[in-house]
Amino acid sequence: METMPAYTYELIFVDNASTDNSQALFHELTAKDSHVVALLMSRNFGSNQTSLLAGMHHATGDCIVSIDGDLQDPPELILAFVKKWEDGYDVVYGVRKKRKGSILRRIGYTCFYRVFVCFLT
């Protein structure tokens, strides 16, 4: 397994007012590990982007890697993303080859990625 240089890091979990036992789990994790931070939203804001932005505003590091908590984004790719950042890229992102959801939603994501690339180049 590839290793990366030692970095100071933080793991920021943003809970969008979930109704399960997540908040108790986050309290337990933050008590055990000073690298773990939990942002508990006051209500469900209905958008993952709101939670993502809250986490980004709270981050203190030079690099941010964002993945969804449902593990549709494989955590194993974090090392590859950090490597690209170390190589000098300002923005590194992944595109899912297979995506769940309706055909309309998949078309929307395809359009998003094409527009996103236009703004980065």
Domain count, the chain: 2
State how far the Cα of 29 lies from the Cα of 48, in Å rounded to an integer.
Answer: 22
Residue 115, domain member (yes or no):
yes
pLDDT in tens, 67-78: 877 777 788 888
Query: How far is residue 9 from each of residues 13, 34, 36, measured CA to CA in Å?
Result: 13, 10, 9
pLDDT greater at residue 72 or residue 41:
41
Residue 60 and residue 105 in one domain: no
Residue 5, domain member (yes or no):
no
Q: Which domain holds residue 101?
A: 95-121
Residue 15 and residue 55 in one domain: yes
The token pair that represents 55 in the structure block: 């986490």
Residue 85 above 90 pLDDT?
yes
The token pair that represents 107 in the structure block: 């078309």
How far the first Cα of the chain sits from its last, in Å, is 32
pTM, two decimals, is 0.70
Whether 39 contacts 10, CB under 8 Å:
no
Residue 3, domain member (yes or no):
no
State how far the Cα of 83 lies from the Cα of 38, in Å rounded to an integer.
Answer: 26
